[in-house]
Amino acid sequence: MKRCPVQLSKEVQEGQQAYTRWGLTYYRFFVLGFSNRLAWRCSTSRLLKMYDAYVSENHLDVGVGTGYYVANCRFPTGSPRLGLMDVNRNSLDYAAGAARRYEPEIHHCNVLEPLPDGVQEFDSISMNYLLHCLPGSLGEKSVVFDNLAPLLTRDGVLFGSTVVQDSRHNAIAKWLLKAYNERGHFHNSADTASGLERALRDRFDDVDVRRVGSVALFCARKPVKAARSTNGE
């Protein structure tokens, strides 16, 4: 297991502390079974479809939660290299259990901090429902893209989803957004799909952001630095 020094600010602590073993069981039933479809209007099967579209045989999942998506998506091979990265040990244990047939690598890290050297690159990196847990403005929390960039191969793909504010929310979504932000489980009261797109375009040449219900789904390729270095810039 790779470890980063994990020193957490109050807000980072709040964004991950709900994920106890019981919290993760609740998450599996409530978020994956109920709120994705009825509150956020972006079903778990829609999100799984995104994994099926982009996941590679050399994949890193960041902010793993229950590990549902990596345990259930269709990898292009039966024996992928799978990395799991999270700041919370419970999430890592739960997800590692769900995906145990792939013998995952475990990375215990706070993605808001620089990540350890010496980790081999991945061809795909996912971060599903991670950004809305992270404190700060979208500009500030986008440091995760900078931290993860060295772990992505030149032709690799970064993809994920996050609940944003600039969507039409139904009444359940409005209520959950308010409650989760008040409790510190979410820090997304200023997050927008357009802000996310800007943050990604600053860092990648090929970006797609689309809204499904209350959620922004994103996919980014061709890190700007890599593109520049091939042009000799």
Identify residues 3-22 at the interface with ligand SAM (CB under 6 A): 12, 15-16, 19
- Smallest distance from the beta carbon of 91 to ligand SAM, in angstroms? 3
Q: Are strands 58-62 and 122-128 parallel, antiparallel or unpaired?
A: parallel
Q: How many residues does the chain have?
A: 233
In the bound state, the residue with its beta carbon closest to ligand SAM is: 65
218 binding ligand SAM? (CB under 6 A):
no
Least distance between ligand SAM and beta carbon 53 (Å): 16
Q: Which is nearer to ligand SAM, 131 or 193 (CB)?
A: 131
Out of 64, 106, 138, 215, which residue is the one contacting ligand SAM (CB under 6 A)? 64
* Token pair recorded at residue 88: 């919370």
Among positions 76-115, residues that touch ligand SAM (CB under 6 A) are: 86-88, 91, 110-112
Cα-Cα-Cα-Cα dihedral sign, residues 137, 116, 124, 12: negative
Q: Does position 213 bind ligand SAM by CB under 6 A? A: no
Q: Is residue 214 near ligand SAM by the rule CB under 6 A?
A: no
Q: Which of residues 128-187 bind ligand SAM (CB under 6 A)?
A: 128-130, 133-134
Look at residue 212 and give its three-state secondary structure: strand
Structure tokens at 113: 């901090």
The answer to whether residues 211 and 193 touch, using CB atoms and an 8 Å cutoff, is: yes
Q: Give me the sheet containing 204-212, strands edge to edge.
A: 2-3, 105-108, 81-86, 58-62, 122-128, 152-163, 215-223, 204-212
- Write down the least CB distance from residue 47 to ligand SAM, Å: 7
| Rounded alpha-carbon distances, angstroms, from residue 97 to 37, 85, 94, 124, 172 | 25, 14, 5, 21, 32
Nearer Cβ to ligand SAM (8/227): 8
Q: What are phi and psi of 180, to 5 degrees?
A: -70, -40
Q: Does the footprint of ligand SAM cover residue 23 (CB under 6 A)? A: no
65 scored as a contact of ligand SAM (CB under 6 A): yes
Positions that interact with ligand SAM (CB under 6 A): 12, 15-16, 19, 63-65, 68, 86-88, 91, 110-112, 128-130, 133-134
